[in-house]
Structure 1
C-alpha cells in the first residue's frame, strides 16, 4: 500500500472515530430516520415532519434560554444571577416550584432553561423544584384540564405540580448538604455545582460585552456549543416520541390503566413514563378512562409521571446531568406522582 493510501486511510479512520465519539447521537438519529424511510416510508415522512414541527415549536425557548445563558456568561452577569439564589433555600425552592407551575414549558421545552440555570451555578435544589413542577401544569393546561376532566381535577393537578416541586427541591437540598450532589452537570455541558463556579468566583460585569472581542467570541462560542448539544438530543427525543405515538396503541394504554384501587395508581405511575403522550393529547384519553370507571388518582399519577419523566424528556435529561442526579430526578418524579395519585384517591374516597 502506498504512503498516500495509508495517509488517506488514517485520516478516514480518524474522521470516523471523531464522528462516532462526538456526533454519535446525530448519526443514530440519521440512521434511524433513514431506516424508517427505507422500511416504512410513510412513517419516515411522518416522523421527519414531527421532529421538524416540534423543533420549530421549542425553538423560541431554546434560543431565549441559550441567548440568556450566553449573554450572562460573556458579560459576567451569571455571577449576579447565581448569587441571587443564595438566600434561604426553602424560600428559593417554594418560589421556584410556584414559578414552575405557572410557566408554559413542556417536559422537553424546559430542558434548555434547566441547562442554562445549572451552567450559571444556580443551586440544584431550586432548579429541581422548577424542573419537576414546570412540565405538569401551566395556565393554558389548567383551562383545558378544567374543560376536559373538571375543575377539581385541574386544582389537584396544580397542587401536585407545586407539591412535587417543593418536595423534590427539599430532598435535593438535604442530600446536597450531605455532600452528595456537587457538580450535577456532565463534563463539557457547563460548570454548575451546588453553588456553582459563578458564585465561587465573583467577577466584574460588562453589560455591553460586544465591545470586547474576547467576550464576544465567548458569547458565540458558548451559544453555538449549547445549541448543537441540545438540538441533537432533542432531535432524538422527538424522533422516538413520534414512533411511540404511532406504534403504542391507545387501547392498550386504556386496558392497562383501567380499574380502581391502589394497584392502578402504581401501574399508571410506571406506565406514564414510556406511554408518552403530550399533555394536551393525554387529557382526552384520561378523561375517557375516568368516564369508564378509572380512579381519578390513577389518572393524576399517569399525567404527572408522563409529563415529568416521559422517555423523550428523560433522554434529554440523561445527556445533561450526571447519573446520580438523573436517577434522583426519576425517583422523585415517580414517588411524587404515586403519592399525588394516592392522596387524590383518598380525598375522592371520603
Structure 2
C-alpha cells in the first residue's frame, strides 16, 4: 500500500480504540490455542467488572462532577505563599486533584515557566499520578479501604518528601532553569493556573456545564471500562498460568528484597493506574507482600514509561534524574512503611 493511502479515518479510529482491540485480539488468540481458557477469562472479566461496577460508577460521577463544576481549577490556589507552605499544599493538591494524565505535563510546564519554585512543582508532580478521588474509590473496591488509605498517604508523603528534598537542593546550579529550551507556554493545562475560573457547584443550572458533565461521564466510562477489561483478562491469565509459589518466592515475605524488586519492576510493567489495580490484587492473592504491591503501584504510577518519556521531553536531564531518584526511593520507602504497618 502506498503512503498516500495511509491518511484515512481508519488509522485514527484504530488508535483511539486500541485497548479494546487488544482485549479482543487476546480473547481471539486464546480461543485458537485454548478455547476453555478463553471462555474462563471472559467469564472472569465479566464477573470482576460486575463486582467493581458500584465503585466504577461512583468514580465516573466524581470525575464528571469535577470537570463540570470546575473544581479542578482550585489547584491554582496551592501555588501561592511561602515555599514550604506551597510544598505541603501542592502535595495535597496533587494527591486530591482529578487531573487527567495529559493535563499534568502542560500544567507543570506552565507552573515552572511562571516562576513557581521547583520544590512546590515537584511535590505536585510526584503526588498527582498516584492518587485522585476516582482512583481512591476504585482502589477501595478492588484492594480494600486500608490499601486505598495507604496509597493516598503514600501520594501525600511522596509529594512532601520530594518537595522538601528539592527545596534543600534548590540553591545548586544543577536545578537552575529546569525546563528544556523552547518549553514553557503551558498548553491547555496552564490556563488553569494563569486565569483560574470560578467554581460553579450547582453545575446543573448551566446547560453548558451539564453537557460537560455528560461528556466527561461518557469519556471516563469508556476509558475506565477498556482498561479494566484488559486488566481483568490479564489477571485471569496470571492466576491460571503463574504458580502462586513463584509469586511468593519473588515478591512475598517481609524483607527488603520483594519491595525493592517491585519498585524496579513497576517502571516497565505498569500499564495504567486503573488497570494495575486488579493485577496487584491478583498478585497479592497469590502471595505478593502488601508493601511490595504498594511500591509497585507508586513507582509505576510516577515513573511508568509513557510518563517518564513525557518528563524527559519537558525538563533538563539533571531535573529528570532527580525526578526518577525521588520517585523510586519514595516508592520504596512507602512500600516499606506499609509493610511494617501491615505486619503489626
Q: Distance in 1 between matches of 2:18 and 2:329?
A: 31
1:88 aligned residue: 82
In the TM superposition, residue 263 of structure 1 has moved relative to its aligned partner by 1.3
Q: 1:162 aligns with which of 126, 137, 156?
A: 156
After superposition, the C-alpha distances for 1:135-165 in whole angstroms (9 at most, x for unaligned) are: 1001111111111111111111000000000
1:346 aligned residue: 340
Larger radius of gyration: 1
After superposition, the C-alpha distances for 1:46-87 in whole angstroms (9 at most, x for unaligned) are: 546349x9xxxxxxx9xxxxxx9xxxxxxxxxxxx89x9563
Q: Which runs of 5+ in 2 are unaligned?
A: 22-65, 67-72, 187-193, 196-226
1:56 aligned residue: none
In the TM superposition, residue 118 of structure 1 has moved relative to its aligned partner by 1.3
In the TM superposition, residue 123 of structure 1 has moved relative to its aligned partner by 1.1
Identify if the C-alpha distance between structure 1 residues 108 and 265 changes in structure 2 by more than 3 Å, giving closer, same or farther: farther
Q: Distance in 1 between matches of 2:122 and 2:135?
A: 21
Q: 1:49 aligns with which of 17, 23, 26?
A: 17
User: Does residue 306 in structure 1 map to residue 306 in structure 2?
Assistant: no
2:291 aligned residue: 297
Q: Distance in 1 between matches of 2:139 and 2:338?
A: 16
Q: Which runs of 5+ in 1 are unaligned?
A: 1-30, 35-40, 54-60, 62-67, 69-80, 193-204, 207-241
User: Does residue 323 in structure 1 map to residue 317 in structure 2?
Assistant: yes
2:91 aligned residue: 97
2:253 aligned residue: 260
1:113 aligned residue: 107
Asked whether the 8 Å contact 2:119–2:164 carries over to 1, the reply is yes
After superposition, the C-alpha distances for 1:104-145 in whole angstroms (9 at most, x for unaligned) are: 135444112111111222111111100000110011111111
Asked whether the 8 Å contact 2:79–2:90 carries over to 1, the reply is no
User: Does residue 188 in structure 1 map to residue 182 in structure 2?
Assistant: yes
Asked whether the 8 Å contact 1:268–1:301 carries over to 2, the reply is yes
Q: Distance in 1 between matches of 2:18 and 2:322?
A: 30
After superposition, the C-alpha distances for 1:196-255 in whole angstroms (9 at most, x for unaligned) are: xxxxxxxxx99xxxxxxxxxxxxxxxxxxxxxxxxxxxxxxxxxxx9xx89xx7649996
Q: How many residues align?
A: 240
Q: Distance in 2 between matches of 1:106 and 1:346?
A: 32
- Normalising by structure 1, we get a TM-score of 0.60
Q: Distance in 2 between matches of 1:148 and 1:297?
A: 16
Q: 1:284 aligns with which of 248, 254, 278?
A: 278
- Normalising by structure 2, we get a TM-score of 0.61
Identify if the C-alpha distance between structure 1 residues 161 and 95 changes in structure 2 by more than 3 Å, giving closer, same or farther: same
In the TM superposition, residue 288 of structure 1 has moved relative to its aligned partner by 1.3
